[in-house]
Amino acid sequence: MTNTSLETNPAPLLKVEKLSVSRSGRSIIEDVCLTIDEGEFVGLVGPNGGGKTTFLLTILGILKSRKGTIEIYGQKPASKSILGKIGWVSQSAANIPNNVRITVRELVQLGTLNARNMFWGGGANQYEQVKNAIQMAGLQDVENRDLSQLSGGQRQRAIIARILASKAEFILLDEPLVGIDRESRNSLLKFLDKLCHESQKTILMVSHDIAAIQQTSHRMIYLEEKIRYDGAATCFPDLADLAALRGIQPVHEHNYTENKLYQLENLEEK
Amino acid sequence: MGVGSIILKLVAPFLEFIAPVIPGEIFPYFFTMEMFQRALIAALLVTIVAGFLGTFLLIRNLALIGDGLAHVSFGGVAVGVVLGSAGPLWYALLFSIIAAILIHEMQTRELLTGDASIAIFLTGMLALGLVVLRIWGGGITTDIEGYLFGNLLLIDEASLDLICIISIISLFSLSIMYSGLLATTIDPLAAQVQGLPVRAIGLWFSIITASVVVSMVQVVGTLLVTALLVTPAATAQLISRSFRLCLIWTQIFGFISVILGLYFSAELETGSGSMIALVAAVIFASVMIFQSIQRQFIQPTDNIN
């Protein structure tokens, strides 16, 4: 490690430098630089096709970068030594088909698996680990229920509980708020907030829901091929400024006050 | 003495012990005569292995892979015969394993869904077999039925040995891979991030599936293997509330199908494989009808959100 001032400024958990990624010949991400420190709650927003999911998959080492470097915990993506430290909730994770019979407990148990203990089904202390994860997610009452009997919010929490059972410290979530109602959304956000502040997890969450991210995360990043905004969530620009950042002149001033998500999508259509 | 004979020796006294209480005129022979005992043991072993495989295959949307690989193996046999091989079965195994791996790869790379790639391999390899036999086969007749429809009642010692060995290997592999396999089946990406060898698990699962299908189809027939791969597992999915229960119910439905199927086939003098498949399908239909009637009249007891 080349970091000389380790005491005052600990090495960032994630360090991305000049990252460019292409998918099927098209450049999705250009020259992205960012660092994430331990304990941060970062919201990643941006339009469809702006590269949010691509960015996450590249960090995970599932997609290869064209240019640039990524370091997680000082290691390359998907290095063996960091595998257990990263948890990933994919966009489709909660879409487990209804014909799959699996209970919350069975699902969470899968989180305790790794390359070393996967034979004969998990480590010795997994019972405690699973129990704690289920408790943290507040799913004790439904732990023996089949996933298809749960609400969208409960399902999403079950998927996150699976990550918690793995003892991951850096949690990446891809659109966890899609398809769940407002009430579940709020309880899920509260849960994530608790994870960050009480369990010292670092969270990077991708979402369309700018309003939701803004009330929970510390820091927001607006990604559309390049990073257009990176800063405190409270200072996230409103839409006219955002459009300027994206190089678009807002055609028409809207008067929506509450739902920024809707505004942004509306803007894209113009 | 092979594994099959040892198992037969171990189980035979028990079968003979319960034989007196077995109903029917011909059915008790399955418990007393060696030839029938072999059929019974083979059918039960195939059921156990197919049940475990089937539960995973259903989740992976590969229900028809048994049928598909059986036809692929026919193509392999044809090529083997034409090349003058003494053991065309090895060609069948090779072709089926390659096909199973390719089907798996195409599905994980999202090039094709499971059923589409199965259909392509099924028709393509069946056609290859027919064409190859037609052009280079000389006097060999295109006896597809011989390769696709074995007969449960004509199992010799060697076949029973083969089934026993394959069953033991696959049950052992499946039981140690159980958790890893479930994780990769439910969410392959998450499993990969967790550090599980997703690719290796997928490949090994394909190889087991292919070996089971090829070895068992020769002996008990495509119809029975396909039915036992899919139907008990599908019935279990209807009523189970957890994955573990699903595996257990699959075994229970499979066992009932085999015993009832053999009973009816013996008493009504029909083909044993087809009767077992029919019973399995009837059980599925009854459970489904019963369940939908129950849903109609009984309100769900708990409303979640």
Whether pLDDT at A126 is above 50 = yes
Contact across the interface for A102 and B186, Cβ inside 8 Å: yes
Query: Chain B closest CA to A77's CA: distance in Å?
Result: 10
> Average pLDDT for residues A178-193, to the nearest whole number?
83
Residue B262: name the closest of B11, B15, B59 by CA: B15
pLDDT reported for residue B280: 95
Closest residue by Cα to residue B276 from B239, B238, B233, B225: B225
- Which structure tokens are listed for A189? 């956000």
pLDDT of amino acid A222:
87
pLDDT at residue A113 in the model: 84
Q: Do A93 and B196 touch (CB under 8 A)?
A: no
At A219-229, the pLDDT tens digits run: 888 888 888 88
- pLDDT range class, residue A9, cuts 50, 70, 90: low
- CB proximity B182 to A under 8 Å: yes
> Among A88, A101, A166, whose Cβ lies nearest the Cβ of B242?
A101
Dihedral of CA atoms B82, B85, B89, B93 in degrees, nearest 10, equals: -80
Please tell me the distance from the alpha carbon of residue B276 to that of residue B264, in angstroms, as a whole number: 9
Name the range with the highest mean pLDDT among A166-175, B158-167, B199-208: B199-208
Q: Quick check: A45 pLDDT over 50?
A: yes
Average pLDDT, rounded, for chain A: 79
Is the predicted pLDDT of residue B255 greater than 90, yes or no? yes
The pLDDT value given to residue A256: 47
Class of domain A14-236: alpha beta
Check residue A121 and give its pLDDT: 55
Distance (Å) from the C-alpha of residue B213 to the closest C-alpha of chain A?
A: 23
Mean pLDDT for the stretch of residues A250-257: 49
pLDDT of residue A120: 63
Decide: A61 and A233 in contact? Cβ < 8 Å.
no
> CA of B187 to nearest chain A CA: how many angstroms apart?
7
Q: Residue A125: what pLDDT? A: 64
Query: Do A97 and B59 make contact, defined as CB atoms within 8 angstroms?
Result: yes
- Domains of chain B (ranges, CATH numbers): 3-297 (1.10.3470.10)
Output the 3-class SS for chain A. Answer: CCCCCCCCCCCCCEEEEEEEEEECCEEEEEEEEEEECCCCEEEEECCCCCCHHHHHHHHCCCCCCCEEEEEECCECCCCHHHHHHEEEECCCCCCCCCCCCCEHHHHHHHCCCCCCCCCCCCCCCHHHHHHHHHHHCCCHHHCCCEHHHCCHHHHHHHHHHHHHHCCCCEEEEECCCCCCCHHHHHHHHHHHHHHHHHCCCEEEEECCCHHHHHHHCCEEEEEECEEEEEEEHHHCCCHHHHHHHCCCCCCCCCCCCCCHHHHHHHHHHC
A210-219 pLDDT, tens per residue? 888 888 888 8
Tell me which chain A residue has its CA closest to the CA of residue B239. A101
The residue to which tokens 């009997």 are assigned: A149
The predicted pLDDT at position B142 comes to 53
Check CB contact under 8 Å for A83 and B194. yes
- B173 touching A (Cβ < 8 Å): no
Looking at chain B, which residue has its C-alpha nearest residue A99?
Answer: B237
Please report the pLDDT score of residue A7 as a whole number.
47
Mean of the per-residue pLDDT values of chain B: 87
Amino acid letter at A111?
A: G
Q: What is the pLDDT of residues B58-116, one digit of tens each?
A: 988 888 998 899 889 888 888 888 887 777 788 888 999 999 999 999 988 888 887 88
Residues from chain B contacting residue A113 (CB–CB below 8 Å): 179-180, 183, 191, 194, 196
Residues A102, B196: C-beta atoms closer than 8 Å: no
% of chain A at pLDDT higher than 90: 3
Q: Does B194 touch chain A (CB under 8 A)?
A: yes
Considering only residues A231 and A258, tell me which one the structure prediction assigns the higher pLDDT: A231
Question: Residue B270 above 80 pLDDT?
Answer: yes
- What is the CB neighbour count within 10 angstroms for residue A120? 10
> Which residues from A are below 8 Å from B183, CB to CB?
110, 113, 118
A–B CB contacts, 8 A cutoff, strictly below? 101
pLDDT of residue B135: 85
Is residue A265 very low, low, confident or very high in pLDDT (cuts 50, 70, 90)? Answer: low
**In this model, does residue A262 exceed pLDDT 60?**
no
**A223-227, A239-243, B79-83, B169-173: which range is least confident on average?**
A239-243
Q: CB pairs under 8 A, 24+ apart, for B292-300? A: none
Judged by phi (left if over 0) then psi (alpha if -120 to 50, else beta), residue A202 lies in beta
Predicted pLDDT of residue A5: 42
pLDDT at B52: 93
Burial of B280 (0-12, 13-18, 19+ CB in 10 A): buried
At residue B84, the 3 state secondary structure works out as coil
Which residue would you say has higher pLDDT here, B116 or A261?
B116
pLDDT band for position B231 (cuts 50, 70, 90):
very high
Sequence-ordered list of residues with C-beta below 8 angstroms from that of A24, at least 6 positions apart, any chain:
none
Whether residue B54 is predicted with pLDDT greater than 90 in this model: the reply is yes
Nearest CB to A106 within list B193, B197, B244: B244
Residue among B182, B240, B246 whose CB faces A110 most closely = B182
Interchain CB distance below 8 Å, B243 and A106: yes
pLDDT value of residue A124: 56
Query: Would an 8 Å CB–CB cutoff place B237 in contact with chain A?
Result: yes
- Pairwise pLDDT comparison (B251 vs A269), residue with the higher score: B251
- B contacts of A100 (beta carbons < 8 Å): 59, 186, 243
A118-142 average pLDDT score: 78
Out of A97, A118, A183, the one facing B179 most closely (by C-beta) is: A118
Nearest to A53 by CA among A90, A79, A14: A90
Higher pLDDT pick, A82 / B119: B119
**What are the residue boundaries of the structural domains of chain A, listed by start?**
14-236, 241-270
Q: What is this structure's pTM?
A: 0.83
Measured between CB atoms, which of B182, B190, B246 is closest to A88? B190
pLDDT surpasses 60 at B39 = yes
Of A86, A106, A184, the CB nearest to B193: A86
Residue of B179, B295, B303, B304 to mutate, interface with A, max A Cβ within 10 Å: B179
- Position A25 scores a pLDDT of 82
pLDDT band at B305 (very low <50, low <70, confident <90, very high): very low
Contacts of B245 in chain A (CB under 8 A): 101
Nearest CA in chain A to B55: A100
Say whether pLDDT at A258 is over 50.
no
